[in-house]
Structures are given as C-alpha cells and as structure tokens.
Structure 1
Amino acid sequence: MSARYEINRNENGTSYHFITSSGNTYIAYFTEFTMLNRNRKDVPILSFGFSCKLTDDDEPQRYDRKIKSTIIYIIEEFFNALPTESILYFCMNQDGKAKNRHLIFDKWFKEFSHGLEKHNTPEASAKHDFYGSILLKSANPNKQKFIDAFYFTIDYWDLGC
C-alpha cells in the first residue's frame, strides 16, 4: 500500500477525517443501517461513506493516490477489528456522479480486495442511478446471512428497480 494521509478519529469513534496536500478535508464515516432478512427480521449493519469539503470549489480536483490509500486503510482497519461484520456502501447521486463513484470504488476494490468479497446491487438498479455494494470477508461465518439480507432488502424496498 502506498503512502496515506494521517487520519484523525473523531470522538464518536465512527468517523475519521484527514486533510489532503491540497488542503481539502475528507470525512469518512460509519453509520448504522438496518437490512431485513426473508422473515422480515432486522439485520443490523454499518454503512460506510466519505465526503470531501473542497478548499476551492472552482478548482478541479486532481487525482491523489493518497486519498485512495487512506480510504482503503480505514476499510481494512474496520475488517481487522470486526472480521465477522460487513459494510454497506451506497454511491450517492446528488451531483449526477453516482456511476463514476461506483466505477472508481470497483477499481479500488480490485486493487485491495485481500480476502474480501463485494456484492453489488442488480444491474437494473443502474438504470435508475442507484449503486450500492456490500463488503465482507470471504471467511465470514455470517457471510450468507448478510448477502441474503442485502438482496432481500433491495427487493423489499424495490431498489433493484
């Protein structure tokens, strides 16, 4: 793994922030989410996301390898601490860039997937700009429970479109 930015963990323990060399501030966070299984029982899981506060909105963002390394590090640390858990990741589309985020995250995942699996929302959901994934360790004894709940929840809420 290449160099990464220094990470500051916030007091709540569920979010992190780091500042890039260009002065942009990134916030990475975990939030509680509840999926449903086939019996409509709750399956708690954490959702992962990150956002960027630009120092200058007019200046185009340049590619910064250390951002990728830092985000990957946070995800790897999560799975080192909680190997039997899973993470949801949804690409938000408020700016029309959900597909780009999804493609970038797929590329990142292929580079760091050491012992992890990623299952994506059905292709039909892409027609409606809805992209999401569940990440989990391949050896997770709860793997099938999480995968089944992921797809059931998508179907239940008609997110597979």
Structure 2
Amino acid sequence: MQSVPKRGYEYIFLGGENNTYAFITDQQVIYELKFKPSSYIFGNQPPFTEFAFEFVIEVAENPLPKLPPPDAVIPITLVSIFNDFFSLKETVVVYICENADGHAKARNRKFTQWFEQAKIGRLSFVKFDYHFGTATEFFYTSLIMRIDNPRMADVITSFQKLSVDYKNPEK
C-alpha cells in the first residue's frame, strides 16, 4: 500500500492573464494549471462574472516516452494551488474536460480521483459534476468552490440552468 505524501511539489505562480501556476514532478514532467477569467460561463450575470474562472490543467512538457505515470504527489500539489488561488471565498471555478481526442471521460475520472485524494487541506472545497450535452456533443464539467462561498446556492442554480439551456437551446 502506497503512503499518502504529506507535501506537494513546489510550485510557482507565473501570473499573467490566465493566472498560471506551474510545477515539476520527480519525473521532470512540467504541469501548468491555469485559472482563466471566464465571465461568459454564467452568461455575464453579475455578481458571478468577476469571480468565475475556467480551470485548465495541462502537461506543458513531458520528457517521458509515454504519458506521465500516476503520481500521488499531484493531488496534494493541486490542494496547495487551489488554497492559494481561492483566497476569495466567492471564487468559482469550472473544469471542462477537453475532448478533442475522445478522452474526456478518462480526464473526468482522473480529476475526480485527484479531488477525492486531496480532501485534506486548509480550505474545504465542494465539487458538483455536470454532464452538458446533446446527442452529438457531450461535456464533462465540474463546478468547484469553497464550502463557505456566500453565493453557493445562486451559483449552483445558475449553473444548472445553463445545463438545461444547453440541452434545450430553443427555450
């Protein structure tokens, strides 16, 4: 049985328009985590617009001949980065699993696994999973926020409405 690491990888905040963070694993794989301002997610409905971000995690550089192997330190690193980024309790992040290569379901499963493994940390987060789509397009999404977000109920209601509107665009 593998022990759970107590510390994550050291990371740096690169900043920029997309609030980019980066870290390097023991295998020398470089990950970038971005929190892109995304006021469009809630249809430009104040007061959510200034606190809405789309979360992107990508392998920026992989020196390995194949996909990076499982790494138990990554979830702990994500917690540290989330704790840093979510300094404002109103912050809302949406993670949309990219599906250009048909692997959105696997990305969703991996992100959920990381999120569950990382349920330790200074701040408490909640994650709500939604499946947007029609018969021809389908997206796995997660809505993430601090448990003490004062607008949680409104955010959830707005996001659920978006899901319904996406399925029924003529309404």
Give the TM-score band, short-chain normalised.
0.7 to 0.9
Match of 2:151 among 142, 145, 150: 142
Cross-structure match for 1:71: 78
Per-residue deviation, 1:157: 3.2
The TM-score normalised by the length of structure 2 is 0.77
Instruction: Flag structure 1 segments of 5+ consecutive residues without an equivalent.
Output: none
Contact map agreement 1:16 1:29 (CA 8 A) in 2 = yes
Cross-structure match for 1:16: 21
Alignment-mate amino acid for residue 113 of structure 2: K
| Structure 1 Cα separation of the partners of residues 159 and 60 of structure 2 | 30
Judged with a 3 Å threshold, the aligned counterparts in structure 2 of structure 1 residues 124 and 141 are, in CA distance, closer, same or farther, namely same
After superposition, the C-alpha distances for 1:45-69 in whole angstroms (9 at most, x for unaligned) are: 1111110034336334211112222
Per-residue deviation, 1:75: 1.3
Match of 1:105 among 111, 128, 135: 111
Contact map agreement 2:9 2:74 (CA 8 A) in 1 = yes
Per-residue deviation, 1:85: 1.8
Alignment-mate amino acid for residue 9 of structure 1: F
Per-residue deviation, 1:141: 1.2
Contact map agreement 1:98 1:129 (CA 8 A) in 2 = no
Report whether the alignment pairs 1:5 with 2:9: yes
RMSD: 2.8
Identity %: 23
Contact map agreement 2:97 2:141 (CA 8 A) in 1 = yes
Cross-structure match for 1:83: 89
The TM-score normalised by the length of structure 1 is 0.81
Report the secondary structure of 1:67's partner residue.
Answer: helix
Equivalenced residues, count? 157
Cross-structure match for 1:132: 141
After superposition, the C-alpha distances for 1:67-93 in whole angstroms (9 at most, x for unaligned) are: 2221222112222x1112211111111
Instruction: Flag structure 2 segments of 5+ consecutive residues without an equivalent.
Output: none
Relative contact order, higher structure (CA 8 A, sep 6+): 1
| Structure 2 Cα separation of the partners of residues 22 and 128 of structure 1 | 35
